[in-house]
């Protein structure tokens, strides 16, 4: 199981939100590229980046910070937030991003996701962000009546590289991930599922790995707070 350290970008800074609320942001640093370099030095195989402003604006906002990160690291990185058209997908992949994460458009324009997955095999992931099983879009500000499992199944044969499943109510709350819901989603589809939201301890990582069906986990606040030591966690997950 791959552990993805998260760098969430707001106004050019590294932050973590509580349950997706922009007003509940904790700033952890003003040099995202340096933070990325520290995560890489600890041995991570991937990085998870989020343009939080972009998720609300519907277009890239923290592009300069993302580009600075890409210039500093050699490990692959995936990015979500404000990627809603083919031109933006192509732009990011041309700049060296390994994978784009499509969330809002997966609900509003699923054909774009399928087109992108065909055009860029292995480089398109779908972000499924849910409250009580129902998908939320536009930076989690808009509730839908789409069930997370139905959305996941709709991309079963599309060539999507991964599904990133976030339980919004757990995100940034340090209360542990929603393992039953994440495991159920992973068992419902053949696409690799990455768990996100609330991953806050070594026990959480062990429990996710123990399901045998979850391909990865994203953690942010726990790494910044020291609740999870990245190097120790990476070693444990590889054993």
Q: Which residues are catalytic?
A: 8, 129
Hey, what are 47's tokens?
A: 């990085």
CB distance 177 to 198 below 8 Å: yes
Q: Distance between CA 171 and CA 168 in Å, rounded?
A: 5
Tell how strand 162-167 and strand 124-131 pair up: parallel
Cβ(138)–Cβ(112) under 8 Å? no
How many CB atoms sit inside 10 A of residue 131's CB? 17
Instruction: Report the 3 state secondary structure along 3-50.
Output: EEEEEEEECCEEEEEECCEEEEEEEEECCHHHHHHHHHHCCCCCEEEE
How many other C-beta atoms are found inside a 10 Å radius of the C-beta of residue 13? 18
Which DSSP category does 133 fall into?
T
Of 151, 195, 226, 234, the C-alpha closest to 48 is: 195
How far apart CA 55 and CA 53 sit, in angstroms, is 5
Measured CA to CA, the distance from residue 21 to residue 204 in angstroms comes to 23
Q: What angle do CA 120, 153, 140 make, to 5 degrees?
A: 80
């Amino acid at each position: 199981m791959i552990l993805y350290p998260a760098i969430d970008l707001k106004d050019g800074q590294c932050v973590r939100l509580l349950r997706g609320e922009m007003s509940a942001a904790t700033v952890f640093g003003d040099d995202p590229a340096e933070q990325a370099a520290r995560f890489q030095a600890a041995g991570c195989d991937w990085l998870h980046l989020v343009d939080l402003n972009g998720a609300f604006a519907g277009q890239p906002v923290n592009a300069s910070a993302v580009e600075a990160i890409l210039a500093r690291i050699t490990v692959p990185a995936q990015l979500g937030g404000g990627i809603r058209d083919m031109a933006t997908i192509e732009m990011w992949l041309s700049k060296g991003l390994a994978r784009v994460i499509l969330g809002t458009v997966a609900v509003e324009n699923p054909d774009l996701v399928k087109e992108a997955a065909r055009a860029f095999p292995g480089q398109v992931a779908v972000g499924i962000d849910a409250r009580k099983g129902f998908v939320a879009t536009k930076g989690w500000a808009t509730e839908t009546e789409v069930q997370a499992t139905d959305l996941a199944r709709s991309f079963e044969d599309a060539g999507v590289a991964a599904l990133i499943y976030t339980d919004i109510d757990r995100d940034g709350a340090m209360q542990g991930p929603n393992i039953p819901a994440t495991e159920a989603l992973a068992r419902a589809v053949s696409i690799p599922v990455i768990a996100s939201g609330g991953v806050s301890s070594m026990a959480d990582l062990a429990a996710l790995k123990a399901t045998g069906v979850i391909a990865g986990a994203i953690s942010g606040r726990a790494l910044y707070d020291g609740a999870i030591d990245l190097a120790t966690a990476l070693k444990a997950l590889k054993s």
